[in-house]
Structure 1
Amino acid sequence: MTRKASGVPYPNAYATKEEIEKNPKALKFNLAQRAHANFTENYGPFITALLIAGVGYPSQATWAGSAWVLGRLVYAFGYINLGPPGRLYGYVISQMGKMALTTMAVLTCWNIL
């Protein structure tokens, strides 16, 4: 949606500085792109930890994974609408879920060994 509103054509991944100066919606597009890129950077470790933690702690892993997803949503909406300062609450929520999953994944591996 933000690509269409900003007028940034494919295949450009981000709006240029000149496009942002002409159209403020181009900055919102860049923020949405960065929020999405940050999600994809963090998705691999999250899903791996979720799968391993789910073997040993299925109920707790569900709650920690849900916290991570909720945090990522808050992160994305905050970052897109408020800029870099808006991502703080979502970051904290998602990191709490991620730390819990990572701990459970390590404990699961330890218990299997």
Structure 2
Amino acid sequence: MPSFDLPAEYGYVILAAASTFFLNTAHSVNTGIYRKAANVDYPAAYAPESNKSPEAQRFNCAQRAHANYIENQVSFVPALLIAGTKFPLTSAVMGLCWSVSRYTYMVGYSSGGEGGKGRYKMGGLYFWLFQFGLMGMAAYNGVSMVMGW
């Protein structure tokens, strides 16, 4: 089994990963605020289709933004941690940029306008660049270990 030493800069990678935990909390608070404004009781995950109010639309968008975040966080964090073993500073910067982009996605999507297209208004689309970049770097790390590079 190969062994390796983590670079001293790996702490930045861990901090970037930790930022995603706090962002998840921000999503929860954001969704709760919109849930209350839309008067949607638990355990309903979304406002009913019969509720056509702007508040219900914003709540549904906030809830979907949170779900999308959770769907992507589960593959992003391991990619960040793996990529950071060889590229700690690049990975940490990409991780921080991912978190910022996911925050803008949340704020834009929660605005509820334009059929959910608000998620891209403030730069929320850019998280894909950072996520796929880190996934590629993680895969490169695996190939380089197998090939002995």
| Matching residue of 2:134 | 101
Name stretches of at least 5 consecutive residues in structure 2 with no aligned partner: 1-32
Q: 2:97 maps to which residue?
A: 67
Amino acid in the other structure paired with 2:35: R
- After TM superposition, the structure 1 stretch with the greater mean CA deviation from structure 2, 23-32 or 80-89, is 80-89
Out of 84, 105, 109, which is 1:54 matched to?
Answer: 84
Tell me what 1:25 maps to.
55
Quick one: which amino acid aligns to residue 124 of structure 2?
Answer: G
Task: Tell me which protein shows more helix as a share of its residues.
Answer: 1
Aligned equivalent of 1:90: 124
Q: Work out the CA distance in 2 between the residues paired with 1:56 and 1:110.
A: 12
Residue 112 (structure 1) shift: 1.4
Q: CA deviation at 1:65?
A: 0.7
- Give the % identical residues: 39
- RMSD, aligned α-carbons: 1.2
Alignment correspondent of 1:80: 110
TM-score (norm 1): 0.91
Structure 1: gaps of 5 or more residues: none
- 8 Å CA contact 2:46, 2:59 repeated in 1: yes
2:45 is paired with a residue whose SS is coil
CA distance in 1, matches of 2:64, 2:124: 15
Q: Is the 8 A contact 2:54 2:112 kept in 1?
A: no
What is the TM-score of this pair, normalised by structure 2?
A: 0.70
Shift of 1:108: 1.0
